[in-house]
Structure 1
């Protein structure tokens, strides 16, 4: 592939407790095999941004549902932290794999603070920057948030792939993500 800018990033997104970090950890150990025999850069890995941003800013899980204002403050902080983490990741590689995305704060804002909060976040420079990054998405079904993730992805016209909920084996999931990524980048 001659233009490394065309490499899509892989975002493993979805509701909490769905195994995102487990998948990213496995992708980290498998990625060298994916890239064997190619001239593609090894990706950077963006992980645990929301947790780090909440800890750094002394937010708690309770703050997410305390009030619409507090929820928006938490989500804005996480959105900016994700933008910074992705920017830093792209300084040393042409692509990355992340266990969250800039979409996550939008979805959680919509769920806990309403559509207006999501619109506020979509107007930020952080979201406008993140939205431009290449998207290849994996996410898992979880009650309520699954449909909100779909709505926000469609509203923002972002490409995505859904790992079937019947695909429970981690190796199958990793192979599915690899296959979709390869389809996206085309022939090497």
Structure 2
């Protein structure tokens, strides 16, 4: 049996990514004919804790580029371990996340250091072969914005939506195909079904889709 495509659930803060990842993993554990996927989570939070970064460092150019570089390296290492053991995975966030945050809060020139890294070249190739779902940030989902005391919170809804757009624009620029999970799809099971439809399509036909309207 061929290896199932990996799944990345990514996007701006507070868009329901972690809950969706957990629900997807539970679905595969109980219903899939494949071996259950490895779950890749908490990479960024682990780096924050191990290296004594805070959410405020994300918008400090010098600290932020150090932080995002470490997150990129950690993501590459974690994915590599899963791949080398022949396992497929669902990842809560991706290598695109630290670069997107660098583009948003540092500057393009310094973010390009990450884009040109060996880690990103490895991760980009893997994402191009995977199902990538971007959870949407929108005005109608503003009630989801909740500060957990760890992640950087957007200044307002406009800032939140702008972060979503940076994600989509970066993926397009890097020729990584993706689907946007609309914020109006709020039911947990419907969100799982949305991702499963993308996954089944990729698994059966290997489609290359590009979203231009986001």
Q: Normalising by structure 2, what TM-score? A: 0.79
User: In the alignment, does 2:55 pair up with 1:58?
Assistant: no
Kindly tell me the number of residue pairs found equivalent between the two proteins: 180
User: In the alignment, does 2:168 pair up with 1:176?
Assistant: no
Looking at structure 1, the residues matched to 110 and 98 of structure 2 have their Cα atoms a distance apart, in angstroms, of 10
- Give the equivalent residue in structure 2 for 1:11: 8
SS of residue paired to 1:165:
coil
Looking at structure 1, the residues matched to 89 and 35 of structure 2 have their Cα atoms a distance apart, in angstroms, of 10
Q: 2:182 aligns with which of 161, 164, 185?
A: 164
Contact 2:134 2:181 in 1 (8 A): yes
Task: After the TM superposition, list the runs of 4 or more consecutive aligned residues in structure 1 that deviate by more than 3 angstroms.
Answer: 91-94
Computed over aligned residues only, the root mean square deviation of the Cα atoms, in angstroms, reads 1.5
SS of residue paired to 1:64:
helix
Q: 1:46 aligns with which of 36, 40, 44?
A: 40
Looking at structure 1, the residues matched to 91 and 49 of structure 2 have their Cα atoms a distance apart, in angstroms, of 19
Looking at structure 2, the residues matched to 166 and 185 of structure 1 have their Cα atoms a distance apart, in angstroms, of 26
- Structure 1: runs of 5+ lacking an equivalent: none
Instruction: Map 1:3-152; keep pairs closer than 5 Å.
Output: 3-4=2-3, 7-36=4-33, 40-66=34-60, 68-133=61-126, 134-142=129-137, 143-152=161-170
